[in-house]
Structure 1
Amino acid sequence: MTTQTRGAVAFEQVRKDFGAFTAIPDLTLRIEPGELVTLLGPSGCGKTTTLRMLAGLETPTAGRILIGGEDVTRLPANRRDVSMVFQSYALFPHMSVAQNVAYGLESGGMKGGAVRDAVETGLDLVGLGGMGARLPSELSGGQQQRVAVARALVLEPQVLLLDEPLSNLDARLRRRVRTEIRELQQRLGFTAVYVTHDQEEALAVSDRIVVMQNGRIAQQGPPRELYEQPASDFIADFIGESNVVPCTVEGLSEGAATVRVGGLVQQVPARHAVLGPARLSVRANAITVQTGQGPFMGRIATSAYLGDHLEYEIETAIGPLFAVDAEGDAPLSPGTPVTLSFRPRGLALIA
């Protein structure tokens, strides 16, 4: 096995049926060595089934799965060079932290000083050096998750699998632990496949995001590409708060399109635009809401104060819009007439 293939993952025309239901119709996907790829999508989209097939916990109905260039499609989980971090941590409550981390090594036949050295190294990697004697119940949720990561890493797998690893943590702790996981992955250079339904989490940790819908890949690419260039209404709505509205492409010139939406004329990247009717993705934070008269008017339907920003549902001639205002001091009252404008960065034509 060459260093170029070690850690690479490939799904080749993989299908997964559960009785008469096809969860994954036809999946072809390659993950490069050292890449962190996030499988993102709503419940039932197939992301967890995909991860479980890679882990050996489900067997494909058809197609092949390769890890490091080796066909592992029919291999059991314990013969695949992968480690998995579960949503529930799956720590043994009666064992110390060190014993939890050592469990997989000892099950694989490692003994004595080699185990102690590997455990110490693993705990140091995740910032838990000196805590090996503690029980899981004596640790915070974030520390328990890091123990689970250390237990997976000491096995030195080709691929680390993470299944909703932060879902049991509160919002502040999720931000900190996701940063720690990303920094560790970049420092050690291991291949990782990360499953989540949280768009912000996916944007923060990924080299590439694979958005799944009904068992298929709806779109994949770097986080910024998916956020700024959604390929469909589904992607625009799922990756961040977005409004998809009708517009008219009135002109095309040097990669830019002139579009009319409501009473506004905007310049946006042309992508694959043609003249005539089209659809425009408008991010909620790209809408400027002001009182007074203007070319594009609306009326406040609902308003909410959320501390660092205001949220509005606005009735307009092109349909309801959801807007986020990070600069307003106090919410406008329902029924207030407002004039709307769009910031260019939050706009994208949808093919």
Structure 2
Amino acid sequence: MTSPTAKGSVRFEAVEKRFGSVVAIRQLSFDIEPGTLVTLLGPSGCGKTTTLRMLAGLEQPTAGRILIGGRDVTNLPANERDVSMVFQSYALFPHMSVGENVAYGLRSGGSSKRQALERAREGLALVGLEGFAERLPSELSGGQQQRVAVARALVLEPQVLLLDEPLSNLDARLRRHVRTEIRELQQRLGFTAVYVTHDQEEALAVSDRIVVMKSGEIAQAGSPRELYEAPASSFIADFIGEANVVPCEVARAGDGGLEARLGGLRHPIRAPAAREGAAQLAIRPNAITLSEPGPGRLDGRVASAAYLGDHIEYEVETALGRLFVVDTAIETVRPVASDIGIGLHERGVALIPA
């Protein structure tokens, strides 16, 4: 593991932020390794943007310490922290050319006009916009404007690049394209990035690690796969990709292992720390199989069915509650009010710790 004091690292040590009597951030502690992209993810009001603003120096912590590259920056102003920020609105100057926009921070830092514009052209080439320096922002697409904002931040050569909801102004297809570009650029150049979003799919696609926040605290942190396949709570299971969270009973199986029992349904438990007794299962919609009712299945009745081209979405009433199901077997749509049997794939089912 890389030392947390290496260039480009970030450390939060018991950081708190209060606005009057309201505690927005509570005892927040985490490390970000150099050269990684870490996403702060959570619903509105969870504290992720406040956390990013404290890292940027735009908000002051009420308590605790923030370190960048091993240096305590808690009380330093934003212009002394060696970070650059890409804002949700891009914040490009409409009357300046693309090259002048990218060069603006360099000029403000004392570089000559010639040096700044030369560096700006190099920055535009990094993000695939070579030859765009003379255009105005209004002559670019939304995705191109976003890349200009990234280039403007990168030419300052910060230890850490901060991205605040950078794709929220783009349509769905363009979001997928630009998030791929940002991730490829980060991996190619190896800079440290802290990325804020409320979009779970976006976080899964771009991140080395995800810090999920809830009510000003860390609900769970880990790799995208860890959070998706081993959620620590029902909140994480439902927030990181959709999940059906249902009650179950963990009991000893015939082979000596453990299994989850849901009515007539049995499912082996892979969690090493699992214990017998009442628990919850997080079941992904695509982990549910539908068939005719029968032994070893959970009985259900189709409440709704929606054909969406490459899959069908069902809502199924069961003794455990209503389940959301994604079925790729599109040849036949199971009619509403029909009785069905429910089974589970091996993957896509996780035991939630008590």
TM-score grouping bracket, smaller chain normalisation = over 0.9
CA drift of 1:24 comes to 0.3
* Mapped contact 1:36–1:192 kept (Cα < 8 A): yes
SS at match of 1:307: coil
CA drift of 1:252 comes to 6.7
SS at match of 1:245: strand
1:238 corresponds to: 239
Q: Could you tell me which of 301, 307, 310 is aligned with 2:309?
A: 307
1:323 corresponds to: 325
CA drift of 1:301 comes to 1.1
CA drift of 1:259 comes to 1.7
CA drift of 1:255 comes to 10
The 5-angstrom pairing of residues 51-130 of structure 1 reads 51-130=52-131
CA drift of 1:39 comes to 0.4
* Mapped contact 1:255–1:271 kept (Cα < 8 A): no
CA drift of 1:293 comes to 3.9
2:7 corresponds to: 6
Establish whether residue 348 from structure 1 lines up as the match of residue 350 from structure 2: yes
Query: Could you report, residue by residue, the CA deviation over 1:67-116 in whole angstroms, capped at 9, with x for unpaired residues?
Result: 11111111111111000001111111111110100000000001133212
Partner Cα distance (1:271, 1:203) in 2: 25
The 5-angstrom pairing of residues 241-320 of structure 1 reads 241-251=242-252, 257-294=258-295, 295-320=297-322
* Mapped contact 1:292–1:337 kept (Cα < 8 A): yes
Structure 1 vs Structure 2 CA RMSD: 1.7
* Mapped contact 2:300–2:341 kept (Cα < 8 A): yes
2:221 corresponds to: 220
Provide structure 1 residue ranges, at least 5 long, that are not aligned to the other structure: none
Query: Could you report, residue by residue, the CA deviation over 1:18-74 in whole angstroms, capped at 9, with x for unpaired residues?
Result: 111000011011111111100000000010000000001100001111111111111
CA drift of 1:333 comes to 2.7
SS at match of 1:231: coil
2:198 corresponds to: 197
TM-score by length of 2: 0.95
CA drift of 1:168 comes to 0.8
* One-letter amino acid of the counterpart of residue 232, structure 1: S
TM-score by length of 1: 0.96
Q: Could you tell me which of 335, 338, 346 is aligned with 1:336?
A: 338
* Mapped contact 2:4–2:33 kept (Cα < 8 A): no
Partner Cα distance (1:198, 1:249) in 2: 33
* Mapped contact 2:4–2:70 kept (Cα < 8 A): no
* Mapped contact 2:263–2:298 kept (Cα < 8 A): yes
Q: Cα gap change, 1:252/1:73 in structure 2, threshold over 3 Å: closer, same or farther?
A: farther
Partner Cα distance (1:256, 1:166) in 2: 46
Provide structure 2 residue ranges, at least 5 long, that are not aligned to the other structure: none
SS at match of 1:320: strand
2:48 corresponds to: 47
Q: Would you identify which runs of 4 or more consecutive aligned residues in structure 1 move more than 6 Å?
A: 252-255
Partner Cα distance (1:262, 1:199) in 2: 32
* One-letter amino acid of the counterpart of residue 201, structure 2: E
SS at match of 1:269: coil
* Mapped contact 2:310–2:330 kept (Cα < 8 A): no
Q: Cα gap change, 1:192/1:288 in structure 2, threshold over 3 Å: closer, same or farther?
A: same
CA drift of 1:270 comes to 2.4
CA drift of 1:172 comes to 1.0
Partner Cα distance (2:255, 2:161) in 1: 44
Partner Cα distance (2:302, 2:97) in 1: 57
State which drifts further: 116-125 or 257-266: 257-266
Q: How many percent of aligned residue pairs carry the same amino acid? A: 67
1:156 corresponds to: 157
SS at match of 1:345: coil
Q: Cα gap change, 1:95/1:6 in structure 2, threshold over 3 Å: closer, same or farther?
A: same
* Mapped contact 1:40–1:197 kept (Cα < 8 A): yes
CA drift of 1:254 comes to 9.8
* One-letter amino acid of the counterpart of residue 317, structure 2: E
Partner Cα distance (2:252, 2:115) in 1: 68
Partner Cα distance (2:133, 2:301) in 1: 60
* One-letter amino acid of the counterpart of residue 61, structure 2: P
Query: Could you report, residue by residue, the CA deviation over 1:6-25 in whole angstroms, capped at 9, with x for unpaired residues?
Result: 11111111000011100001
* Mapped contact 1:232–1:350 kept (Cα < 8 A): yes
SS at match of 2:169: coil
Q: Cα gap change, 1:271/1:231 in structure 2, threshold over 3 Å: closer, same or farther?
A: farther
Partner Cα distance (2:319, 2:119) in 1: 64
Establish whether residue 37 from structure 1 lines up as the match of residue 38 from structure 2: yes
Partner Cα distance (2:60, 2:78) in 1: 10
Partner Cα distance (1:307, 1:194) in 2: 33
1:139 corresponds to: 140
SS at match of 2:269: strand
How many pairs were matched up?
350
* Mapped contact 2:11–2:31 kept (Cα < 8 A): yes
* Mapped contact 1:4–1:33 kept (Cα < 8 A): no
SS at match of 2:148: helix
Partner Cα distance (1:306, 1:99) in 2: 46
